[in-house]
Chain A
Amino acid sequence: MEHPDEHDRRGTGEGEHVPEPPDREPDDEATQRYLDLIRSVHDEWTTLEAEGDSSVQLSATALSTIKEAVRADFRHGAHVEMPPTAAGPYTLSEMALRTVVRDAVDSVPGVIALRTAFDHGLPEGGHRVRGVPHRVRCRISVSVDARHLTGVADAVRAAVLAELREHLALTDLRVDIHIEDLHDD
């Protein structure tokens, strides 16, 4: 790892306009030893962490405790009304809806779902429920290898519409696609 002051000294860091403190002359032997120490410390830690050495990172128990706590805290979000079925009305959680959309976006080759937002109609089931979605906004990342971004956007839109129609009987809605990032595969 590069020491942050080495980065600054080359004039490429945000600290380029700020003079170095007098104790940091680059030709100072003690400073050089100090920089070597910091560098070797980072190298050692990177190596040990990559080897799974628990001395420089959380124990497996602590890591698993965090993940369990996060899963336990998973919020399902508001209830969202879906088109009523012959058997009666039904709702699903906002997070379940997001998961359906995310899976549909991810199913298109070279595309990664980022975030999704919904516009809802007026709810019929009271103020604690969101109405049937009538618009979906998908923020996505597309592979830099994709040649026709409009084609990719159309494919994502088609996949989302098909998934929502097939699994949730949502048919009357608009899907907006926003390509936010390009990524390397």
Chain B
Amino acid sequence: MPDLTTTDERALVLRAQDGDVAAFEVLVDLHQGRLFRIAYLVLHNRMDAEDVVQEALVSSWKRLHLLEEPSAFRAWVAQIVSRAATDVVRKAARRSTEGVDHKALEDAGPEAVLGGATGRNDGQPEHAAVAGAQMEALAAILQSTEEKQRTCWVLREIDGMSYREIAQLVGASESTVRGRIARARSQILDRMKDWR
């Protein structure tokens, strides 16, 4: 039995496609951190981010046979996570505009800000606590950017995706993606002046 923790990623994906659960678990260990950070920065809510990543990774196991190019696993799984995170943000926004939770949010007071996109951390500050100070600061800044800009920015700056990959993922042109990222950067730069 080879040491799977030192096996290259392409081989791990092929073995996982062959039904090797242990190989898939190594892939989970390798990617869970960055996937969590993508989800957290989009959602600004630890519980929602964990849910999104859990569902995305289990779903990627079920759909792994559909992945034709094993070396594309990294981008493929990031795509599943970012789409799921974006869906959560949009659903929360819809609920908010429908006014269903308006009264509850108003009553919740300023601590509700800790709840991120869905407010699920309300009253449970321990779940919102994030020791990574820079991540928390960035996530807070990102909440002021528009959701499409935020997602594109996170995929570019946090995951290192190319503009072309992001364009395919979000279904927009490359120039649109560049524009969104430039606007998000500009806002972050402005907010950084207060940060320092």
CA distance A62 to B55 in the complex (A): 10
Indicate if the CB atoms of A23 and B50 lie closer than 8 Å: no
Q: How many A-B residue pairs have CB under 8 A?
A: 141
CA distance A183 to B157 in the complex (A): 30
List chain A residues, Cβ under 8 A from B19: 74-75, 77, 95, 98-99
The answer to whether residues A45 and B10 also contact, given A66-B54, A102-B18 and a CB cut-off of 8 A, is: no
The answer to whether residues A55 and B50 also contact, given A74-B21, A102-B18, A106-B2 and a CB cut-off of 8 A, is: no
Interface on chain A toward B: helix, strand, loop, or mixed SS? helix
CA distance A113 to B16 in the complex (A): 11
Indicate if the CB atoms of A57 and B36 lie closer than 8 Å: yes
Considering residues B15, B19, B162, B192, which has the most beta carbons from chain A within 10 angstroms of its beta carbon?
A: B19
Indicate if the CB atoms of B1 and A58 lie closer than 8 Å: no
Residues of chain A in range 61-78 having any CB-CB distance to chain B below 8 Å: 62-63, 65-67, 69-71, 73-75, 77
List chain B residues, Cβ under 8 A from A34: 185, 188-189, 192
Q: Does B33 contact A (CB under 8 A)?
A: yes
Indicate if the CB atoms of B33 and A55 lie closer than 8 Å: no
Indicate if the CB atoms of A41 and B135 lie closer than 8 Å: yes
Indicate if the CB atoms of A181 and B10 lie closer than 8 Å: yes
Question: For residue A63, which residue of chain B has the nearest CB?
Answer: B32
Q: Does A13 contact B (CB under 8 A)?
A: yes
Considering residues A45, A77, A106, which has the most beta carbons from chain B within 10 angstroms of its beta carbon?
A: A45
List chain A residues, Cβ under 8 A from B2: 106, 112
Q: What distance in Å separates the Cβ of A134 from its nearest Cβ neighbour in chain B?
A: 20
Indicate if the CB atoms of A70 and B131 lie closer than 8 Å: no
Indicate if the CB atoms of A53 and B61 lie closer than 8 Å: no
Q: Which of A14-22, A125-133, A149-157, A162-170 contacts B (4 or more CB under 8 A)?
A: A14-22
Q: What distance in Å separates the Cβ of A141 from its nearest Cβ neighbour in chain B?
A: 5
List chain A residues, Cβ under 8 A from B178: 18, 21
Indicate if the CB atoms of B132 and A141 lie closer than 8 Å: no
The interface of chain B, by Cβ under 8 A from chain A, is 1-2, 7-8, 10-11, 14-15, 17-21, 24-25, 28-29, 32-33, 36-37, 50, 53-54, 57-58, 61-62, 129-132, 134-135, 138, 156-157, 160-164, 174, 178, 182, 185-186, 188-189, 192
Q: Could you list 14 A-B pairs, sorted by A, with CB under 8 Å?
A: A4-B160, A23-B182, A45-B132, A48-B131, A49-B33, A55-B129, A55-B132, A58-B32, A58-B54, A62-B50, A67-B25, A73-B58, A98-B19, A102-B20
